[in-house]
Structure 1
Amino acid sequence: MNDTQILLLTLSVTFVLAGLVKGVTGMGLPTVAMGLLGSVMPPADAAVMLIIPSLVTNIWQLFSASAIGPLWRRLRTMMLGIVLGTVSGAALLTRVDPRWSGLALGSALIGYGSYALLSPSVTVKSAVEPWLSPVIGLITGVITGATGVFVIPAVPYLQALKLDKNALVQALGLSFTVSTLSLAGGLFSQRAFAGELLALSALALVPALAGMALGQRIRERISPRRFRQCFLLFLLLLGLELVLKAVF
């Protein structure tokens, strides 16, 4: 196999796995894709490749439930923080030595995996939500811009709002969609987009959707809780590998 064939095979396997995780759990596509691709290429290139699959799957998730208006009004300051933080933080992903970007990515994966495995019960009181939402959005944006991972601290925060099941899925879709668009804007402003990377991103949509379809079937047959535990352990090991690779 030549280098092009190896790259295409790597992308296909990566996005099938990432789509499978999203199909079962409703999230995790960019996290898995960044973790796997970030171990074999510069994180900035990996981030460009996940743009189209992430955007398409998250828009589908965003509009899978009821009207978005009320949720948007509640979370708009958080979304603004995500935009500002991501566009600003993208400079870190493109200008910093890939070794340190890999270290940041690995640390983010370890942090999220550890938090989610512990599953602490946290509730955000309505009185603090108006000022906490934009802060959470800004921190999430900076981490997204620096690592390409959207989950920390947005996902724990949205879970702590105690939304009903459908609203939570939609809120995650909104957060991930805004994060993806902001990351695309940040990478574009840093001139990180290349035609061949975008073409590969478009091609990656096919295995990502195939993985999602497979994941939805698996979700009907196995315990989502057990799968989630395995997924989080996988993220911890992947994050540890990225950290050790950067340090040594």
Structure 2
Amino acid sequence: MDLTAPLTVALVFLLAGACKGVIGLGLPTISVGLLALLMPPAEAASLLILPSLVTNIAQASGPHLRDLLRRLWPMLLALVPGTLAGGAIIASGAAALPALGLALLAYAAWGLATPPLRLPPRIERATALPIGLAGGVVTGATGVFVVPVVPWLTALGLPRDALVQALGLGFLVATLALAGALALHGAVTPALAGGSLLAVAPALLGQWLGSRARQRIPPMVFRRLFFVAMLVLGAQLAWRGLA
């Protein structure tokens, strides 16, 4: 990647961090989705690693950590091999762009529909491993941790604070596994590692600004605008990848 445009990268992570500050998610989706318009998805995902780790450590911490780990460990564990397997797709570059576009389309469709789904405990236990594996493959293939894990977590009926913490925990594990997958396939270079380090500051600034703006912007309005933007971006990336 040509790192002569650090301002563009900084602005992308500022925007992505602001979105995360408002609704608790969106950093990987926006950053990888927008940067994939300018560079291969593997490079975009490599830039994401450090900002995602830093912003999600705090989100994953909190009073519900022990209970969430006891409940979610099968899904979290399955994320790792799934991500390592999917990493071959993003490293190859051939199918990564349409896969990313389709993942964003599916995520946006789920977000706009917001189906009132609630999983009973028996179904939750039965689906934890396959959901984790599938979510890992999508993460490894696209660099974005979205489907099917985020809808699955939302359907567990967790209290709002516990859900935000569960999302942070999933993002954190997925990011660590993605870093391993990218390193395994030689997609992380010193230049990209440096760029990822420089992206931490704008991501944190954006997260702080977003948390301040959360009090002034109706969350449902922002959430709907966010998913409409993901729908447009996903369609653009899928079209470019399949054309």
| Structure-2 separation of matches of 1:60 and 1:201 | 18
TM score, norm. by length of structure 1? 0.95
Counterpart among 64, 70, 74 of residue 73 in structure 1: 70
CA distance in 1, matches of 2:162, 2:74: 17
Of 203, 217, 235 in structure 2, the residue corresponding to residue 240 of structure 1 is 235
CA distance in 2, matches of 1:10, 1:154: 30
User: CA offset at residue 118 of structure 1?
Assistant: 0.4
Within a 5 Å distance, the mapping from 1:78-97 to structure 2 comes to: 78-97=75-94
Counterparts in 2 of 1:34 and 1:163: CA distance versus 1, 3 Å: same
CA offsets per residue over residues 136-186 of structure 1, 9 Å max, x none? 100000000000110101111011000011110111011000000000011
Q: Measure how far apart 1:233 and its partner are.
A: 0.5
Amino acid at match of 1:235: M
Aligned to 2:24: 26
User: Over residues 12-58 of structure 1, what are the superposed CA-to-partner deviations in whole Å (9 max), with x where a residue is unaligned?
Assistant: 11000100100000001000001000111000010100000001101
- Residue 97 (structure 2) pairs with residue 102 (structure 1): yes
Rounded to whole Å, the distance in 2 between the matches of 1:11 and 1:31 is: 14
Aligned to 1:12: 10
Deviations 1:87-140 (A, max 9, x none): 11101110242xx21111011101100111000011111012222111110000
8 A Cα contact 2:82 2:134, kept in partner = yes
- Output the amino acid matched with 2:58: W
Asked if 2 retains the 8 angstrom alpha-carbon contact of 1:79 and 1:175, the reply is yes
Query: What does residue range 1-248 of structure 1 map to in structure 2 within 5 Å?
Result: 4-5=3-4, 7-63=5-61, 65-97=62-94, 100-248=95-243
- Summarize the Cα distance change of 1:52–1:4 in structure 2 as closer, same or farther, 3 Å threshold: closer
Shift of 1:193: 1.1
Q: Is contact 2:41-2:93 (8 Å) kept?
A: no
Segment of structure 1 superposing worse, 47-56 or 122-131: 122-131
In 2, the alpha carbon distance for the partners of 1:184 and 1:142 equals: 14
After the TM superposition, which of the residue ranges 238-247 and 24-33 deviates more from structure 2? 238-247
Deviation at 1:4, TM superposition (A): 4.4
Q: Distance in 2 between matches of 1:150 and 1:125?
A: 24
The one-letter amino acid paired with 2:214 is R
Report SS of the residue matched to 1:127. Answer: helix
TM superposition outliers: structure 1 runs of 4+ over 4 Å:
none
Q: Work out the number of aligned pairs and report it.
A: 242
AA at the equivalent of 1:54 = S
Identity value in percent = 47
Cα distance in 2 for partners of 1:239, 1:111 equals 9
- List runs of 5+ in structure 1 lacking aligned partners: none
Rate the CA distance shift 1:81–1:158 in 2: closer, same or farther, 3 A. Answer: same
Structure 2: gaps of 5 or more residues: none
What TM-score, normalized by structure 2, do the two folds share? Answer: 0.97
Aligned-pair RMSD on alpha carbons?
1.0
* Kept after mapping to 1: 8 A contact 2:49/2:175: yes
